[in-house]
Amino acid sequence: MMSQATLQVTGMTCGHCVETVSKAVSSLNGVNKVDVSLEQKEVKVDFDEGQTALTEIKAKIVDAGYEVGSG
């Protein structure tokens, strides 16, 4: 089942941060689209719940060195 989530991410300060988060989330199986906004401090993800879970996406962002808020 396809899902979409918008996550608030803190700690991103530049284009390199956006690229790092985008690559980290994109590396997960089932992730179809990642849109990282430095200005909005958010990450929008389209993913297949049958292949990955929202908790895995959040963990990938945290592993990359950023904090994920609720939302």
* Residue range 6-63, pLDDT digits in tens: 999 999 999 999 999 999 999 999 999 999 999 999 999 999 999 999 999 999 999 9
pLDDT: which is higher, 13 or 71: 13
Residue 27's Cβ-count burial label (10 Å; 0-12, 13-18, 19+) is exposed
Q: What pTM, to 2 d.p., does this model score?
A: 0.93
Distances (CA, A) of 27 to 21, 61, 67: 10, 11, 18
Which pLDDT score, from 0 to 100, does residue 61 have? 98
Which pLDDT score, from 0 to 100, does residue 8 have? 97
Between CA 44 and CA 6 the distance in angstroms is 4
Between CA 23 and CA 26 the distance in angstroms is 5
Which pLDDT score, from 0 to 100, does residue 70 have? 63
Q: Which two tokens stand for residue 31?
A: 């992730």
